[in-house]
Amino acid sequence: MIKLIPVARLQPGMYVHDLHCGWLEHDFVRNRFLVADAHDVARIRALGVAEVSIDTARGLDPDAAPAATTPDRGDPAGPPPPAVHTASKVAGTPERARNLHREANEIVRNLLADVRLGRQIEIEKVEPLVARIVDSIFTSADALLPLARLKQHDSYTFQHSVSVCALMTAFARTLGLPRETIREIAIGALLHDVGKARIPDEILNKPGKLTEAEFERMKSHVVQSKLILMATPGISPIALEVAAQHHERFDGSGYPNRLAGESISLYGRMAAIVDVYDAITSERVYHKGMPPTEALRKLLEWSSKHFEPRLVQAFIRSVGIYPTGALVRLESKRLAVVQAQHAEKPTQPLVKVIFHTAGHYLQPEDLDLRRSQDRIVGHEDFAAWNIDPARWLAL
């Protein structure tokens, strides 16, 4: 049943049928979606609409659910501010994220070694790890996602898999997909490159350009991934599509099957975007990684052919215009590392000021750009300023 309710009555668990504002007036990926948490409620209220339509067949009915509590008007501080999506809001989250990142890399390293030896993947060993990654992204994506940028040349294959898993989880959450579907997407993302265990190291880690024969061998990893996962008991069709289609392209120029448009599953179209983003922002033996903001511009450019434009826009929303972990230049000539996103103010994230362009480090300072006269004027490259990203991304 569709009901029109005042926006003040909106609460998590309700299903929005119509926001009663134009597509360009809000930053939600869809016009219809489940309200996940108080953060979503705050974002909708910030739109300034008086009423929204909800579908009680797909979510909570306000007339059946307990009334949402309202702040005491006698409290001079007023209602609490909308939740900020930041690691600092959850005690211990940064440390847990670091431990999880290390553990995930080790598990995937061992898994690829097992595949190389011809052993079957045991999905029961993967599922608990994926559950923790999904929980971490839902709790505080700003704690785990920056760690996805920390890779070593000789460990790229398994570290890339962990990064793609975290990014795909955040992407799927932005799209409002069901939690169970997100879990299957995350499993597929973590295992999407298992076929590389069957590619010789001299091809995987070759510093120069691959020969035509070597490139064909490299491309075969997608089919190998699909075959390995098809032989894995308990793997879902969703996870299989992530792995089998992550090199297909929206214009039909990809491989292995040159699928195009919606003949590629939603999960394959998502994986194509995330796989490329993580690859081009990573330091490799044969190319220098791009700053995240430049990589997002490239994705927008390529969305005219290779990627579905609406999904590229949604992915940018999931990581932020200035992604967490990016190095940015402020108008004050200081450099800062992006710490957390503000969904309602995507150009004004929380940053940690660390360096002055005059060439010296500063006393680190957390700065919320929503409440500062300073502003971001561009992105910067850690290497250009001889700044070790590991020092700041793992804080």
Non-local CB neighbours of 204 within 8 Å, separated by 6+ positions: 157, 196, 218
Tell me what pLDDT residue 279 has: 92
Q: For residue 394, what pLDDT band results from cuts at 50, 70 and 90? A: low
Q: Which of 145, 162, 137, 129 is nearest to 36 (CA)?
A: 137
Tell me: the pLDDT tens digits for 192-205? 999 999 999 889 88
Contact between 100 and 128 (Cβ < 8 Å): no
Contact between 348 and 375 (Cβ < 8 Å): yes
Q: For residue 79, what pLDDT band results from cuts at 50, 70 and 90? A: very low
Q: For residue 83, what pLDDT band results from cuts at 50, 70 and 90? A: very low
Whether residue 173 is predicted with pLDDT greater than 80 in this model: the reply is: yes
Whether residue 101 is predicted with pLDDT greater than 50 in this model: the reply is: yes
Contact between 174 and 318 (Cβ < 8 Å): yes
d(CA 341, CA 93): 16
Q: For residue 306, what pLDDT band results from cuts at 50, 70 and 90? A: very high
Instruction: For residue 81, say if its preceding peptide bond is cis, omega within 30 degrees of 0.
Output: no
Question: Tokens 């190998």 correspond to what residue?
Answer: 224
Q: Compute the C-alpha angle 92/97/98, nearest 5°.
A: 105
Tell me what pLDDT residue 77 has: 35
Contact between 41 and 1 (Cβ < 8 Å): no
**17-21, 22-26, 148-152, 175-179: lowest mean pLDDT where?**
22-26
Phi first, then psi, for residue 219 (nearest 5°) are: -60, -25
**Is pTM, for the whole model, over 0.75?**
no
Secondary structure, 3-state, 329-363? EECCCEEEEEEEECCCCCCCCEEEEEEECCCEEEE
Q: For residue 42, what pLDDT band results from cuts at 50, 70 and 90? A: confident
Tokens matching residue 290: 């791009």
Q: Which of 288, 298, 285, 341 is nearest to 146 (CA)?
A: 341
Tell me what pLDDT residue 19 has: 83
Integer CA distances (angstroms), 378 to 277, 285, 352, in order: 19, 27, 15
